[in-house]
Amino acid sequence: MYEDITLTCKDCGQEFVFTARDQEFYAEKGFQNQPQRCKACRDKRKAAAGERELYTAVCDKCGKEAKLRFKPTEGRPVYCSECFAEMKNNRQQ
């Protein structure tokens, strides 16, 4: 049904193979576009995206240290991941 396709990475310009198996996976997930980057460039982008600055605050509910991906706003409550998940679950019930 699918055949391997050779594509060119838009970041590094190297050719890479979009395998029949990968095409099938994309189709199962409902992805409509072919990949634009080779695996090395995709991995590099993912690693760069993960290098976010973390902020530290004190949870307003339990008092534990909370690591945040955003800078806390003065006067607004901050929750650790456990308390936030608990509050979210209570709202859904």
pLDDT in tens, the chain (93 residues): 899 999 999 999 999 999 999 999 999 999 999 999 999 999 998 888 766 778 999 999 999 999 888 899 999 999 999 999 998 888 877
User: Does 59 share its domain with 45?
Assistant: no
- pTM, two decimals, is 0.53
Structural domains in the chain (count):
2
pLDDT digits (tens, 9 = 90+) for 72-85: 999 999 999 999 99
Q: What is the pLDDT of residue 49?
A: 74
CA distances from 77 to 22, 27, 61, 92 (A): 44, 43, 9, 20
Give the pairing type, strands 55-58 and 65-68.
antiparallel
Q: Any idea how long the chain is?
A: 93
Range of the domain at 86: 55-92
Looking at the fold, whether 9 and 40 belong to one and the same domain comes out as: yes
Asked whether residue 65 falls in the same domain as residue 44, the answer is no
